[in-house]
């Protein structure tokens, strides 16, 4: 069993830098957990505290049932893969992969068996005698993973392992990583700034910002019910569009108005907005709900600024009042640059947030 439990885990670096603020989470055995967020939000620091490479300033960390705050990295039964791979340049691939086993005084025959088995999984058998400098980026990446696999750890930690690869290889390795996890059946904690990696690999995603966990959930939870505007904007590509609206209350109904739109909310959403008491709110629209000419419960008027035809679909850059809004529709262009078009969004496509974006208002 390899659950990992963080209870208010906090990191304050010298100089009073609060890098991670009371991170609390139960990571399940065999789960693929992804930590995602912009650069500097505290992802690596969190991972390094789990690995034991960074001292924990506050809170408790458990691996299995054991509190490991003060346990040395080598005794935590984890293996970490770094962004820069950190291979030993003077050692062959075989020696890089077997290094930890040699330290553990595993027999030669057993080392050979384990290294070859990992090499087979990763398709790098023919590279075992090479030195790291004789490998491509993608091959080095595989060796770094192989080195982690042979240790047979309870938990794999990955810190942006694909960031140094070109776009095509990144997609290929991403698919391989998913396959590898299914095969190894171990707990994985994976750090990335790339929301696509997070969406495609994760059982659950943790979105961080400024050292603080914003939301934890499945990819679909985060996509459909982001808890604040930050998560809404971070998860999903192209990004969620945001508009500011004035709130007008007439009887039980709330009307949202702005430059380019005016619509009445249904009872449930009216109640949610009224409870917040805000005179202005922000709302988000996913590009997939912004389809020129489409009818819907909330109507918008937009001027077409740019059209990007992609073949199967086209992206539309609109101005709704002064706000830039991206739309998407299947097939070729449905309108011309300079046109004024209407589009409708059903209530289900509206993500209502407080004016400052910190709170979600609708369920």
Ligand X SMILES: Nc1ncnc2c1ncn2[C@@H]1O[C@H](COP(=O)(O)OP(=O)(O)O)[C@@H](O)[C@H]1O
- Contact positions vs Mg ion (CB under 5 A): 44
Q: Which of 18, 112, 5 is nearest to 60 (CA)?
A: 5
In the complex, the smallest distance separating the C-beta of residue 30 from ligand X, rounded to whole angstroms, is: 25
Six-digit token pair at 139? Answer: 């091959």
Nearer to ligand X, 17 or 86 (CB): 17
Q: Which part of the chain contacts ligand X (CB under 6 A), choosing from 35-43, 71-79, 129-137, 213-221?
A: 35-43
In the complex, the smallest distance separating the C-beta of residue 44 from Mg ion, rounded to whole angstroms, is: 3
Nearer to ligand X, 15 or 251 (CB): 15
| Residue 13 sits in the site that holds ligand X (CB under 6 A) | yes
Q: Which part of the chain contacts ligand X (CB under 6 A), choosing from 33-41, 149-157, 167-175, 222-230?
A: 33-41
| CA dist list (Å): 138 to 23, 143, 164, 171, 191 | 33, 9, 9, 11, 18
Residue 17 interacts with which of Mg ion, ligand X, none, CB < 5 to 8 Å by class? ligand X
Residue 215 interacts with which of Mg ion, ligand X, none, CB < 5 to 8 Å by class? none
Q: Which of 21, 44, 50, 145 binds ligand X (CB under 6 A)?
A: 44
In the complex, the smallest distance separating the C-beta of residue 11 from ligand X, rounded to whole angstroms, is: 7
Q: Which of 21, 31, 32, 42 binds ligand X (CB under 6 A)?
A: 42
DSSP label of 171? H
Sites for ligand X among residues 283-342 (CB under 6 A): none
Q: Under 8 Å CB-to-CB from 334, ≥6 apart: which residues?
A: 292, 293, 314, 341
| Residue 195 sits in the site that holds ligand X (CB under 6 A) | no
Per DSSP (E only), the strands in the chain are: 4-13, 17-27, 32-36, 58-63, 66-67, 78-81, 155-159, 187-192, 204-209, 212-217, 241-250, 253-258, 261-264, 280-285, 298-309, 313-320, 323-330, 340-345, 350-354
In the complex, the smallest distance separating the C-beta of residue 141 from ligand X, rounded to whole angstroms, is: 19
Q: Under 8 Å CB-to-CB from 157, ≥6 apart: which residues?
A: 47, 50, 51, 78, 79, 80, 81, 188, 189, 190, 191
| Residue 9 sits in the site that holds ligand X (CB under 6 A) | no
What is the contact surface with ligand X in residues (CB under 6 A)?
13, 17, 19, 37, 39-45
């Amino acid at each position: 069993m390899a659950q990992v439990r963080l209870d208010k885990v906090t990191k304050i670096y010298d100089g009073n830098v609060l890098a991670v603020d009371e991170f609390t989470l139960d990571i399940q055995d065999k789960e693929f957990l992804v930590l995602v967020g912009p650069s500097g939000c505290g992802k690596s620091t969190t991972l390094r505290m789990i690995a034991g490479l960074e001292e924990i300033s506050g809170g408790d960390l458990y691996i299995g049932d054991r509190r490991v705050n003060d346990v040395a990295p080598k005794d935590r039964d984890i293996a970490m893969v770094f962004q820069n791979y950190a291979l030993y340049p003077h050692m062959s691939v075989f020696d890089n992969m077997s290094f930890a086993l040699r330290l553990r005084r595993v027999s030669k025959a057993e080392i050979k068996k384990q290294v070859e088995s990992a090499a087979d999984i990763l398709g790098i058998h023919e590279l075992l005698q090479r030195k790291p400098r004789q490998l491509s980026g993608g091959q080095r990446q595989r060796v770094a993973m192989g080195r982690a696999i042979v240790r047979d750890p309870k938990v794999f930690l990955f810190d942006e392992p694909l960031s140094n690869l070109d776009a095509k290889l990144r997609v290929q390795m991403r698919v391989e990583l998913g396959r590898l996890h299914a095969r190894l059946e171990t707990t994985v904690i994976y750090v990335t700034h790339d929301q696509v990696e997070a969406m495609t690999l994760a059982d659950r995603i943790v979105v961080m910002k400024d050292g603080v966990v914003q939301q934890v959930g499945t990819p679909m939870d985060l996509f459909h019910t982001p808890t604040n505007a930050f998560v809404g904007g971070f998860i999903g590509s192209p990004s969620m569009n945001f508009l500011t609206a004035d709130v007008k209350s007439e009887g039980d109904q709330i009307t949202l108005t702005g430059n380019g739109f005016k619509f009445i909310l249904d009872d449930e959403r009216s109640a949610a907005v009224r409870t917040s008491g805000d005179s202005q709110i922000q709302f988000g629209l996913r590009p997939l709900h912004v389809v020129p000419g489409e009818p819907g419960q909330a109507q918008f008027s937009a001027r077409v600024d740019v059209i990007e035809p992609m073949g199967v679909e086209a992206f539309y850059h609109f101005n709704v009042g002064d706000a830039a809004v991206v739309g998407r529709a299947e097939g070729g262009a449905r309108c011309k640059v300079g046109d004024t078009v209407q589009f409708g969004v059903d209530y289900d496509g509206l993500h209502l947030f407080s004016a400052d974006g910190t709170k979600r208002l609708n369920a």
